[in-house]
Every structure is written in C-alpha cells, then in structure tokens.
A and B are shown apart, each in its own frame.
Chain A
Amino acid sequence: MEKSIENTWKEGFLKSDALVAPKINNLYNQKSIHITAKFERMAKINLVAIVVFAVIFLLITTYNGLLVLGISWFLILSGLVIVNYRSLKGLNKVNNHTNSYEYLVSFNDWLQNQLSMNRKMARLYYPLLFLTIIIGFWLFDAEGIPLGERLVGEVLYGFPDIYMVNGIPLLAIIFMAVIVGVLFLFGGKIYMLDVSIIYGRIFKKLDDLLADIEELKE
C-alpha cells in the first residue's frame, strides 16, 4: 500500500501509542489556585470600591448639607467592610490541605459561611440604609426648617384632617414600615442577587470544578 503522508498519519496513530493523553495531575491544583486567587482578588477590589464609595458619598452629602445621611452610610458601610475584611483574612486558614479537592471543599465551606453571614447582615443593613436616607432628608435644612417638618406642614395644609403620630402622618409611617419590612424580608435575596452579578461566574466555575473532581473520584 502506498505510504502517503495521509496514510502514514492515519495508520500511525492507529498502530502507535502516540495518542495517549498525558496525566494532568497538576491541572486541578492550578484550576483551584486560579479560582480562589481570583475570588480573593475580586473580594479585595470589592471592599476597596465600597470604601471609596463611602468616602466620596460622605464628601458629597456633607457638601450638600446631608451630613447625617453621609455619616450614617459611612458608618454602616465601614462596618460591612471591617467584618468582611476580617472574614477574608480567615481564608488563609483554608490553605492547609493535602489535595486540591479537600482545599476546594474547605474553600466552598468558607464561602457558604461567608454568604450566610452576609445574607443575615443584609437583612439589617438594607433597611438601615433606607431609614438613614429618610432621616437624612428629613433633617435636611430647607431654609431654616428641617425638610421633613416642612413637608409635613405642606401635607397638613392640603389635608388638615390627616391622622398624625408624633408629628408624622400615619400613612407615611405605614409606607416606611412596609418598605423596611420588605427590605428585612428580602434583604438576603437582594444580597444574593447582588453577589451573583459580581461573583456568579466564579461560583459557577467552583461548582463545575467540584463536580468534575467528584466525578473523577468516582
């Protein structure tokens, strides 16, 4: 039979061991390192972005006479950053494992704890952020009178028989209470939505990789 280039290629691979895939033991280690390093990097950038935002927001609100709003947001966001920064430091403890699978499982456990903690915190800080917006604008100085009192005055002028509680229309209190309640109930879900936008791809990679290694183990 003619030894053409095409035949040599076809038959050569059929006859020889040239198609044996090499062992790629280290591949999963590299993938694991890539995922966790990427997550750590993104988380740090995220925390820095929150700090930068808090500072800029504080400056803008102070400049515009909304000092209470600026300080409140600054304190809430700073608390959030401190808690998460400390938690991120705990990631170093995850690093003591013999193989990439154990490492990834520990990392995933750490991540789930982190998410659960932040979900709980979100149920508090979303309503708090909302309330500080209301209080901040309520206390905003509108030509010598706090904006809230001025608005209540306007409302009373139009609806003199409106029901008031401690100088605030009851309807406004109910409206705020409903929003605070909704934010409390769905704070965790809103947080997860927020997280999935930023970290969704990396979480999917982590799940895929764990599933991959588990399948290999089986």
Chain B
Amino acid sequence: MSILPFSGIIIKLCRAYTNSQEDFEDYFQEVCLQIWRSKENFREESAWSTWVYRISLNVCLTLLKKDKKSSGHFVSDALVAADTEDTFVFSDESLNHLYEAIRQLSEIDRAVITLYLEEKSYQEIGDIIGTNPNNIGVRIKRIKSRLKIILDGKIY
C-alpha cells in the first residue's frame, strides 16, 4: 500500500489549507508521517484511497486549528484566508486565483471542492468527510456559486 498514487491530491489538499510554501511543506510532511504511522490501523473497511484522503484531511484540519490557536485569537476561516498574505505563486495565473478563492471557503468546503475537482464520487467525498453523500451535490453547487462570487468574473 503506497501513498504515491495519491500524492497529487494530498499536495492539492495541503495547498488548500496553507498560504505559504513553508507551511505547505510542513503540512505535507505531517500528512505523510501520519499516514505512515497509522498505516497498520487500516482495516479495509473503506478503500485505501478514501482512508489516505481522510487522514490527510484530518491532519490538515488539526494543523490548521493548532496554527489558529498559536495565533492567539479566534477569527473566522474566511478572515484567516483573506488576511493572510498568500505567498504561493504558480506559473498559471488562473490557478492562483482559484486557490486564493478556495482558501476563503470554510475548512470542510475546501476539502469538498478539492475532492470534487479531483472527480471523486459523491459517495467517496461523503465517506472522506464523514457526511451523508446525498447532500454533497447540493453542497458542491453552493460552493461553486460562492467561488464564482469570490472570483468575480475571473473564472466562470
């Protein structure tokens, strides 16, 4: 069981929760470490990929909470994303805009949209984030509308 085939989506998830290359590397490393640590607890009750994504998401959310705590005050997710300077610069400008917008979503919505864009089924998205897959479709619609507002015509 390797995480190599899923490293792409782990990278994309970690990028959705971090604003700088330094943070991204820390998150990615911690995700890899935690997957390795808990590998033996995998019980094949779900697909290996689902399990990997679930751990990745949990680690990202835990680290995000830690970062928020260490910043010493409570602010909404949207404000955290908007206030923090984004130091990621990809060569594709549209992707930069899209990531900036994704980082302004709530913690769970960032995971939902990332998994949706990676063409995961509603069932798998539901399994990963631990909600009823029936609501995923509506949620994605709502997230996309919000993204379009944030992107303000840059992407349709």
Which A residues have a C-beta under 8 Å from some C-beta of B? 2-6, 8-13, 15-24, 26-27, 30-31, 34, 201, 205
- A9 CB contact (under 8 Å) in B11, B95, B148: B95
Shortest B106–chain A CB gap in Å is 17
B residues near A17, Cβ cutoff 8 Å: 90-91
- A22 CB contact (under 8 Å) in B28, B98, B117, B154: B28
Give Cα distance in the complex from A144 to B28, angstroms.
Answer: 73
Interface residue stretch chosen among B32-40, B49-57, B60-68, B127-135: B32-40
Number of interface residues of B (CB under 8 A): 30
Give Cα distance in the complex from A43 to B45, angstroms.
Answer: 32
Give 1 or 0 for each of B1-37: 1 = CB within 8 Å of chain A CB.
0000001100110010000010011001100110011
Indicate if the CB atoms of B90 and A12 lie closer than 8 Å: yes
Give Cα distance in the complex from A46 to B33, angstroms.
Answer: 26
- Indicate whether A24 sits within 8 Å of B92 (C-beta atoms), given known contacts A8-B155, A9-B98: no
Indicate if the CB atoms of A201 and B90 lie closer than 8 Å: no
Give 1 or 0 for each of B89-116: 1 = CB within 8 Å of chain A CB.
0111011011000000000000000000
Which partner residue on chain B sits nearest A201 by CB separation? B40
- Indicate whether A19 sits within 8 Å of B117 (C-beta atoms), given known contacts A27-B33, A34-B37: no
Overall SS of chain A's interface: helix
Q: List 26 A-B contacts (CB under 8 A).
A: A3-B94, A3-B156, A4-B155, A5-B98, A5-B144, A5-B147, A5-B148, A8-B97, A11-B94, A12-B90, A12-B94, A12-B98, A13-B8, A16-B95, A18-B12, A19-B8, A21-B11, A21-B28, A22-B21, A22-B24, A23-B25, A24-B28, A26-B29, A27-B33, A34-B37, A201-B40
A residues near B155, Cβ cutoff 8 Å: 3-5, 8
Indicate if the CB atoms of A16 and B90 lie closer than 8 Å: yes
A residues near B147, Cβ cutoff 8 Å: 5
Indicate if the CB atoms of B37 and A18 lie closer than 8 Å: no
Which partner residue on chain A sits nearest B118 by CB separation? A9
5 extra A-B contacts, CB within 8 A, seeds A15-B91, A18-B92, A22-B24: A4-B155, A5-B144, A10-B117, A19-B11, A34-B33
Indicate if the CB atoms of A24 and B29 lie closer than 8 Å: yes
Give Cα distance in the complex from A28 to B1, angstroms.
Answer: 18
A residues near B32, Cβ cutoff 8 Å: 24, 27
Shortest A143–chain B CB gap in Å is 55
Which partner residue on chain B sits nearest A23 by CB separation? B25
Give Cα distance in the complex from A31 to B35, angstroms.
Answer: 11
Give Cα distance in the complex from A13 to B7, angstroms.
Answer: 13
Indicate if the CB atoms of B29 and A27 lie closer than 8 Å: yes
Shortest A94–chain B CB gap in Å is 22
Give Cα distance in the complex from A18 to B156, angstroms.
Answer: 21
Among A2, A16, A23, the one with the most B-chain Cβ atoms within 10 Å of its Cβ is A16
B residues near A3, Cβ cutoff 8 Å: 94, 154-156
B residues near A24, Cβ cutoff 8 Å: 25, 28-29, 32
Indicate if the CB atoms of B90 and A5 lie closer than 8 Å: no
Shortest B81–chain A CB gap in Å is 17
